[in-house]
Amino acid sequence: MSVQSKWEVNHVTTNTIMRTSTLKPRLDYATMLVDKTLDMLIQKRSELGKINLSFYAKTNKGIPISEFKENLVYELEISRAIESLRQARRCLDSVFGLGNITMVLAPTISVVRTVRSQLFGLLADTDVSLGELSLVLGGLIIDAGHLTGANLDFQEANRQSCLLLDEAKLIADSKIYKQFPNVDFL
């Protein structure tokens, strides 16, 4: 006696199931890369912050220090990168299913690439991890889009990434200006 299943599993279905199961580990890996890069940047900003506070104390006494301006701009760029990557991390955390991966993660690729280009001349240590993160996110979006049949709206993704970067810039600038009041040369 042969029992025929009402569920049909063919090659296409098996391939789709297998590809779907590989998205979660890559999403976790992307999250780990963001966290690792954030840790490096936060440590560097902390070191620069201590140096800049000592320079700031000297400039308040009327001693002009040109190195302070350079370090402060450097700290500001790192702070902006940190806030931008935190925005990307929030996007990664807000993925709740296969259907929203393309919509939620599309802006993060642009954010990561922008951060990578801003830090390229300043902090070479982060270049490899940000490049890898960009590739992982791109692969996730392509595979999720293929599996769900979703179309990626690049115009909307770019608009959202600009909003994320602007918000990150505002937060970082606010923190630096609060830390170093009366600094007017930025």
pLDDT digits (tens, 9 = 90+) for 12-30: 544 444 455 578 889 999 9
Q: Encode pLDDT of 88-129 as tens digits.
A: 999 999 988 777 888 889 899 999 999 999 998 888 889 999
Q: Within 13 A of 140's CA, how many CA atoms are on the CB side? A: 30
Report the alpha-carbon distance of residue 130 to residue 120 in Å, rounded: 10
- Higher pLDDT: 170 or 177? It is 170
Does the pLDDT of residue 7 top 50, yes or no?
Answer: no
Report the alpha-carbon distance of residue 84 to residue 148 in Å, rounded: 28
Domain boundaries 22-179, CATH class: mainly alpha
- Say what the pTM is: 0.81
How much is the pLDDT for 9? 44
Q: Within 13 A of 8's CA, how many CA atoms are on the CB side? A: 3
| Helix, strand and coil percent figures for the chain, each rounded to 5 | 80, 0, 20
How much is the pLDDT for 3? 53
How much is the pLDDT for 18? 43
Q: Encode pLDDT of 35-94 as tens digits.
A: 999 999 999 999 998 988 888 887 767 666 777 888 888 999 999 999 999 999 999 999
Query: Domain ranges in the chain?
Result: 22-179
DSSP string, 111-152: HHHHHHHHHTTT-THHHHHHHHHHHHHHHHHHHHHHHHTPPP
